[in-house]
Structures are given as structure tokens and as C-alpha cells.
Structure 1
Amino acid sequence: MKQLAIDTSNLTMALAVAKEQVILGQIQTMGNKNHSVSLMPSIDYLVKSVGWKPNQIEEVLVAIGPGSYTGLRIGVTTAKILASSLNCSLKAISSLKVLAANVRVQDAIIVPLFDARRQNVYAGAYKWQEDQLVAVITEAHYSLSQLIDLVKAYDNVHFVGQDIKKFQQEILASIPKAIFATDELSNYPTAVRLIELAKNEVTVDPLSVVPQYLKRVEAEEKWLIDHQNEEKQSYVEKV
């Protein structure tokens, strides 16, 4: 099977192509958050560089969040359009799970996290069971203190993500034996991990796939507070 993997859920834009789970090529950029400009030209270049035509893609894989609201919309929308127009299968995988897959430590509790500002994080926890990542703490928008309370009961806890340095001191104060990924590349999601995880994921209907933000945007939260006594109506429809 020929696969195209897409992750634009955060600062990184990560793409990869594979045939029968063998990576044929990848593109990864960090630092320039211009996914709307660079994503489609990068996909076109990558597909052509391995000698494929677009209609030869049999499966599209996409990271569906949490992460940047704009980045998620760009990546998920692109993946849905490609899967629909090329009539190929689509699999949608958590961005946190993709990040957790960078830690290959058996018997560890792996905690991937992204900064959600104001001492909050998007996070969850996973562990390896044979060759599958299994969730042990549900992914959600947590305050840092909530997350620490959830994971401090476990042994051999590994934190991973580009934002872990911001929270390292506070985490160590409650979990002195916590381990932090030190390899810079391990702290960023890659499309290669999407391809590795895909074999244990189910195919989804492109029309049903939506970004998993895990938290409403601030404008929507404010609108809901200001209009809580009004007849219930979608914020998007109202705006």
C-alpha cells in the first residue's frame, strides 16, 4: 500500500510517503509556521520525488490534534480533500499519540504534552503493549497541576514534547524521578510515526473527520458566557 502522511498540527510541518510501511521519503520543517503556503507544494514535490502520480496514493494519514487551531484545519482539510478526490482510504491519528511514539521505552508511562498557555497543557499518557501504544490517561486540556496529580502515582514516567522545558522544574518538584526526552528531534512529531502507528488504526469516513482541538477557542468561550441565557445555537452558525 502506498501511503501519504501529513502532520501540521503544531510548529512542525511533517510529511512522509511509504510503500508497505517502508519509508521512501519525508519532509520536515520547523520554525516557519506557514503551512497554508507550503503544504500542497511540499506534498506535490514529495510525491513526484518518489516517482508517484497523485492517483497512485492508496491511503492518507493525518494528525488530527490537539495543536494549533489553524495548523490543524489546514492539515485535516487537505487530507480530507485528498482522500475524497483520490478515492483512497483515510486514517486520523492523535497528534499526542504521534509524539508519544517517539519514546520507545517498554514499561514506561509516556506523557506527551503541548503548551496550552496560562499553565495549561494538552496532554495524555500512553504505554507500549507489544507493538501498540495504549492510552492510560485520556487526552484532554489539563492544568499543569491536574496533569501532575494524574501521573505522579505511576513509576518510570517519561515526558516528551517541545514544551517540556517550560514545565520541567514544576514537574520535578512533584515527580523527582520524572524523565524528560533530551534528544531534540524526539520532542517533535514526525510523519514517520504516523505511518508506523497506522497499521493499528481504523479507516474513517473523510466526511466525519474533524480536528480534535480538546478546547474551544477563546472567542467561542466568551461568546457562550455572554449568551448563556439565549436559545441554544451553534457559535459558528451564529457568527
Structure 2
Amino acid sequence: MILAMDTSTYVLGVALGDSSTIRAEWTTHEKKNHSLRLMPGIDHVMKTVNASPSDLEGIAVTTGPGSYTGVRIGVATAKGMASALRLPMYDVSSLEALAGNRRFAFGLVCPFIDARRGQVYAAVYEADDGHLKTAYEERLWLMDDLLKILASTSLPVYFLSLDVAGHRENIERVLGSRAHVGEGMDGRIKPGEILRIASESVPVTDVHAVVPRYLQLAEAEKNWRMAQGYHE
């Protein structure tokens, strides 16, 4: 079995299973420190199926983009478990996992996470009978620029995000009826989707080399670098 975890947004999720079956899945939407909830969540899913560490065959984690603190907690926990238990580790993009919610749709799938100041972490995938083909790699976008690119296509676009409410008006203004704005469950990363991606992937070659996909420097680090005279 593979243990999967996601701490990249305020929704924390853990799942246990393999390529064909989700044995247990747990999520919480409470906006509390993930460091206080992740290990109890792992313990919960393990006990639900009477599993022990020796039953695990791998550890999968979303490495971002997303919340700086949240991603760091998840990556550190996954690396620690994979190292201690000598297990393969799977590095999964939070945006790819989120896009999986609409992999059977027809058109483009655009998962995004708000990055403030009119920016979003986003990627664009083309859905094809359950498979996702990358159309635009994940990166930090100005939402207006991303929408201009999507407006140039003729395909329907499915937007998936916990932060969709703050962008809905702009999305629908630019794309009109081609915009399909997911709500509720569509906007959160499902731990079971992380399991699916991991089971179809190759584990990382060096657990210790895995780092969060921040896509930009944290605000505190930006300020420190400026104070030290660094220029991007």
C-alpha cells in the first residue's frame, strides 16, 4: 500500500491504498496548523484498515505549489517517513492532483491556487479520456495573462480551485460560456488522486533531494535577499 498526503492548502488530506483501491481516505477543512493534524490523520487512516508501517510500500506527497508552511510540513514528514522506513517516495504536483478531479472532462482543465496580488499558481492540461496532457507547465501567472491565453482557444475550460470565488467574475467576463467554474469538492485536492498518480509514476531517486515546488520566494525571503543586496 502507498500512504499519500496533501498539505498544500488549508484542506489537509491523507489516503491509504494502491492503484486500484482506496483503502482509507481522510480530509479536514479546519484552518488549523497542519503540523498538529498531519500525524494524527496518518494514524487514523492506518488504524482504520488495521495497517502497520510494515504494510507500507511507498510514501506519496504533494510538493506544491501552495502554502509555504503547509508544503514544507508535508514534504518534511514524507521524507522523514520514507527515510526511516526505507520506502520509495513519490513527488506529486498539487496542481496535477487537483486537475485529476476533471480528467474525464472534454476540454482544458486549469487548476490554480491564489498567490495574491492578482497572481495564481496554475497549470493547464488537456483532458483526453481520463488522461491529462500538459498544455502549459505549472508556474506563477498573472491571472489576467492566463485568461488571455485561454481566451485564444475554442475549447471549454474547467477551473478548479479553493480560491475560485475571488476570480469567478473575471473568469466569466473573459471566457463567457466556455468557462466552467468548479465549486465545492471540485476545488480541493483528493488524497485518492495522489495515490493514483503515484501508482502510475516512478519514485524519486534521492529522497533527501526532494524540495518543495514554491515557484517563487516566500515574502520573508524576498525581503531578506533585498536587504542583502541580491537582485533577481
Q: Same fold (TM over 0.5)?
A: yes
SS of residue matched to 1:213: coil
Matched with 2:118 is: 119
> CA separation in 1, counterparts of 2:26 and 2:16?
9
Letter in 1 for 2:92: I
> CA separation in 2, counterparts of 1:42 and 1:172?
37
Matched with 2:226 is: 225
**Post-superposition shift, 1:130?**
4.4
RMSD: 1.7
Matched with 1:128 is: 127
Stretch deviating more after TM superposition (165-174 or 85-94): 165-174
Matched with 1:64 is: 63
SS of residue matched to 1:171: helix
**Post-superposition shift, 1:131?**
3.9
Letter in 1 for 2:94: S
Matched with 2:89 is: 90
**Unaligned segments of structure 1, at least 5 residues:** 233-239
> CA separation in 2, counterparts of 1:124 and 1:130?
19
What whole-Å deviation, never above 9, does each CA across 1:178-232 have from its counterpart, x for those lacking one? Answer: 11113x11111110110112233221021111010111011221222333369x9
Give the 3 Å change call, closer, same or farther, for CA 47–108 of structure 1 in structure 2. Answer: same
> CA separation in 2, counterparts of 1:30 and 1:115?
17
Decide whether the 8 Å contact of 2:103 with 2:132 is kept in 1: no
> CA separation in 2, counterparts of 1:147 and 1:67?
18
**Post-superposition shift, 1:129?**
3.6
Decide whether the 8 Å contact of 1:12 with 1:33 is kept in 2: no
> Which of structure 1's runs of 4+ aligned residues deviate more than 4 A?
none
Stretch deviating more after TM superposition (78-87 or 220-229): 220-229
**Post-superposition shift, 1:45?**
2.2
> CA separation in 2, counterparts of 1:229 and 1:189?
36
Matched with 1:185 is: 185
Decide whether the 8 Å contact of 2:100 with 2:193 is kept in 1: yes
Percent identical residues: 33
SS of residue matched to 1:175: helix
After superposition, residues 1-239 of structure 1 pair within 5 angstroms as 2-154=1-153, 155-176=155-176, 177-182=178-183, 184-204=184-204, 205-228=206-229
> CA separation in 1, counterparts of 2:63 and 2:46?
22
Paired positions, count: 229
**Post-superposition shift, 1:97?**
0.7
**Post-superposition shift, 1:53?**
0.9
> CA separation in 2, counterparts of 1:200 and 1:97?
13
> CA separation in 2, counterparts of 1:20 and 1:111?
24
> CA separation in 2, counterparts of 1:130 and 1:14?
26
> CA separation in 2, counterparts of 1:19 and 1:196?
7
> CA separation in 2, counterparts of 1:229 and 1:123?
27
**Post-superposition shift, 1:32?**
2.7
Decide whether the 8 Å contact of 1:106 with 1:127 is kept in 2: no
Decide whether the 8 Å contact of 1:62 with 1:79 is kept in 2: yes
> CA separation in 1, counterparts of 2:167 and 2:58?
37
Decide whether the 8 Å contact of 2:18 with 2:195 is kept in 1: no
Give the 3 Å change call, closer, same or farther, for CA 229–129 of structure 1 in structure 2. Answer: closer
SS of residue matched to 2:23: strand
> CA separation in 2, counterparts of 1:36 and 1:30?
14
SS of residue matched to 1:101: helix
So what's the TM-score if we normalise by structure 2?
0.93
